[in-house]
Structure 1
């Protein structure tokens, strides 16, 4: 694929880093680049500043999208937040323009085929980073990419060669454009599927269909790792993947299935090519990391195992597993209180998992939650909150999702605040009333657009507030 001399329109610069990396990649490959974004120059100032050495060689069209830009360029590169049914995207398609995104460009230009791609509703960031951790013990030339402000897909190409290991997190927004592509990762992992992004994908089946693109073009020499315990796994299997399927499960796998599972003694068992091998007992691991992370460990183990890393070496690497930022991350502790930042819990299921991690502290668990709705269902969330959270220990940050949470709970009174600082101060005061050491869990169960730029901005501001309030 040749970019030099082509007129290319980048639709959406954004502020999370992916747009900047894509713009620089296109410019360095000789494209005649135009960037269009509905945000103003002031809103995009951090991104424009990162392009200051080349910005005078790029056409910027900000605060507006113009028809002529979609008609006069050869190719349109979409930011992940741009839906395919956008009227300007339709205009470009109808006029025969080539449509790409950062993920499709990555596949077309990456020299390595040693790619592990991870998608799903929950757990994908942890699995991506933990798989990268295990692979680095085998090959230091391993890169973790995608869906994080500091790890855009198109930012490290000068470091890649055919022997590089790449582990990348891929979202449904990125995958939906791969429907007509002809490339795929050597190993694909789908962590699970729950109701999410319905405002974008219109239905859960359409959302699952976008996720299924991750393995659509795999062949018989590739691998697909699926969660046996998730009800949507049968949907993915029904798509008849050409790749070899391995499963992970907290129950003993049927004899005909290969993969990793937890037996009745809490042992993690590998079964590949009809041979079983025991690794660790997960009881201590779950005490430290929570039961939900056992799924993440199994999927990561399998991906590394398929790269030829011995189980003994994988077990050694568990001791140095990284804590993932903003995923149930402990950000403060003293003799009276622990505070965990779980800002990337943008769905009810994510917060349920966090609550279950700390449910042994039922009488001392304080939850800060609430945010922006995306047509999510909070009934199961409400049942979990009623079971494990004292009403006096529940603090809401106002928002459209918060209204749905309160409706699902059906209580008469609520502790609700307009700003995060007030929530934190009230939660700390509540811990002061508890007999034993308390845990404050900031797990919003939703997105954040009404009050923050995104969940990462929300997490950074929460951490600053902890320092401000507690010193």
Structure 2
């Protein structure tokens, strides 16, 4: 069966436009191809900051509320990853025996080209982009990129498959959840690691692990899984696979040249290199592509150096372990901007690193939502380093700039979610960049 046959003559309901725009692309794809499509979202276009011109005119909109009548109308419901399974309308749809699917799982299921899926708590975006760069270097303009990336949609990928070699997909646990329902996995998979995350949505780590296993559970030969043999969670996920298991470790990069700092990036490089060798890509070209890779925005990204002070944006560090990794990568006196909305994750690992890190000079806490216990622990552990608690990025950047001296690093690595003060982590990162740019203008 093709995607066209699956969707033909069906009433298709896109449930959730999403704040990162994925639902827009899905709805537009359906409309462009003449399918009957309706979109529902509890927010209006204005609240989502979406201009009407961004949507095809033949899309029916049912926004500002969520009604059972929309579910009754639908034959197929495309569930945005941000809409949880326990949402009343999702539960109602399943009671009515509606087909509830996800766009990215549909793409993996019906893709005319081989798919490469990458997941992990940390490193999945950098690894995804590195794999994409390697493949695109060897097969110019023959690789497509999608999945858990801002502004991308699952269905829209179908229009980009002609004359292409591979589809490289970053896959989140929320996206992989639907892969279990559709019993589908990518042809080739990479698992970078597994750490506690999203425990504001998952009841236990076992639930989180279960969703991640979907990347390998339904793989078929001659597929394979590349996994991190230095991470227990990655090993657990790989053990669910019935295809070839290919381990990697940091020491595999001993003879590889890279621009990226930190042991964590060596692990990402090892994953990409192991995949490349498994695909029988020319080693010389692979190593050259790796040596030219400059990293990914919002991930320990150097934004500016002002009067000898380095400003680094690591806004996608939304878990304590992510901030720990960023702190460990620093080699100069560091001012850490951290904080946000708790995801109910263990904070002890970050508190321990803050206490013991030899390079941490000052600490600025951004936000106050659900952070009382965290701040109290900081006051007890490192009162001399706690410079203040602020409620805006402007205040955080300005305070950091006052404290910083030449050869210092100002590191935004929050360790928490962003929704207390920002639309999402990218908005948080953009605001950091903006206020750093204002500092640069002041220093001219």
Provide the TM-score with structure 1 as the length reference.
0.87
Q: Which residue of 1 aligns with 2:435?
A: 465
> What is the SS of the residue equivalent to 1:220?
coil
Match of 1:431 among 404, 422, 430: 404
Separation of aligned partners in 2, 1:306 and 1:150 = 30
Separation of aligned partners in 1, 2:391 and 2:164 = 51
Deviation at 1:154, TM superposition (A): 2.9
Determine if contact 2:145/2:168 at 8 Å carries over to the other structure: yes
Separation of aligned partners in 1, 2:439 and 2:245 = 50
Deviation at 1:334, TM superposition (A): 3.1
Separation of aligned partners in 2, 1:74 and 1:389 = 59
Instruction: Describe the shift of the 1:399–1:148 C-alpha distance in structure 2 as closer, same or farther (beyond 3 A).
Output: farther
Deviation at 1:134, TM superposition (A): 0.7
Separation of aligned partners in 1, 2:107 and 2:265 = 29
Instruction: Describe the shift of the 1:211–1:447 C-alpha distance in structure 2 as closer, same or farther (beyond 3 A).
Output: same
Q: Which residue of 2 aligns with 1:405?
A: 374
Match of 2:22 among 18, 23, 27: 18
After the TM superposition, which residues 123-272 of structure 1 pair with which residues of structure 2 at under 5 Å, given as runs? Answer: 123-140=123-140, 141-161=142-162, 163-239=164-240, 241-250=241-250, 262=251, 268=253
Aligned residue pairs: how many? 432
Match of 1:416 among 375, 389, 407: 389
Structure 1, unmatched stretches of 5+, are 251-261, 269-279
Q: Which shows bigger deviation, 398-407 or 314-323?
A: 398-407
Structure 2, unmatched stretches of 5+, are none
Q: Which shows bigger deviation, 401-410 or 142-151?
A: 401-410
Instruction: Describe the shift of the 1:174–1:183 C-alpha distance in structure 2 as closer, same or farther (beyond 3 A).
Output: same
Q: Which residue of 2 aligns with 1:272?
A: none
Could you report, residue by residue, the CA deviation over 1:414-456 in whole angstroms, capped at 9, with x for unpaired residues?
4111111111111111113xxx411100111111111111001
Separation of aligned partners in 1, 2:79 and 2:392 = 34
Deviation at 1:34, TM superposition (A): 1.3
Match of 1:326 among 286, 298, 309: 298
Determine if contact 1:3/1:29 at 8 Å carries over to the other structure: no
Provide the TM-score with structure 2 as the length reference.
0.92
Deviation at 1:412, TM superposition (A): 7.4
**1:339 maps to 2:343:** no
Could you report, residue by residue, the CA deviation over 1:308-333 in whole angstroms, capped at 9, with x for unpaired residues?
11222222222210320100001111
Q: Which residue of 2 aligns with 1:84?
A: 85
Deviation at 1:220, TM superposition (A): 3.0
Determine if contact 1:126/1:324 at 8 Å carries over to the other structure: yes
Instruction: Describe the shift of the 1:190–1:237 C-alpha distance in structure 2 as closer, same or farther (beyond 3 A).
Output: closer
Q: Which residue of 2 aligns with 1:69?
A: 70
Q: Which residue of 1 aligns with 2:335?
A: 366
Determine if contact 1:14/1:47 at 8 Å carries over to the other structure: no
Q: Which residue of 2 aligns with 1:453?
A: 423
Could you report, residue by residue, the CA deviation over 1:389-418 in whole angstroms, capped at 9, with x for unpaired residues?
677610110233533432443347441111
Deviation at 1:227, TM superposition (A): 1.1
Instruction: Describe the shift of the 1:459–1:428 C-alpha distance in structure 2 as closer, same or farther (beyond 3 A).
Output: same
Could you report, residue by residue, the CA deviation over 1:255-303 in whole angstroms, capped at 9, with x for unpaired residues?
xxxxxxx1xxxx63xxxxxxxxxxx535x648x4211101100001111
Determine if contact 1:81/1:173 at 8 Å carries over to the other structure: yes
Instruction: Describe the shift of the 1:406–1:3 C-alpha distance in structure 2 as closer, same or farther (beyond 3 A).
Output: same
Deviation at 1:68, TM superposition (A): 1.0
**1:302 maps to 2:248:** no
Deviation at 1:161, TM superposition (A): 3.1
Determine if contact 2:108/2:115 at 8 Å carries over to the other structure: no
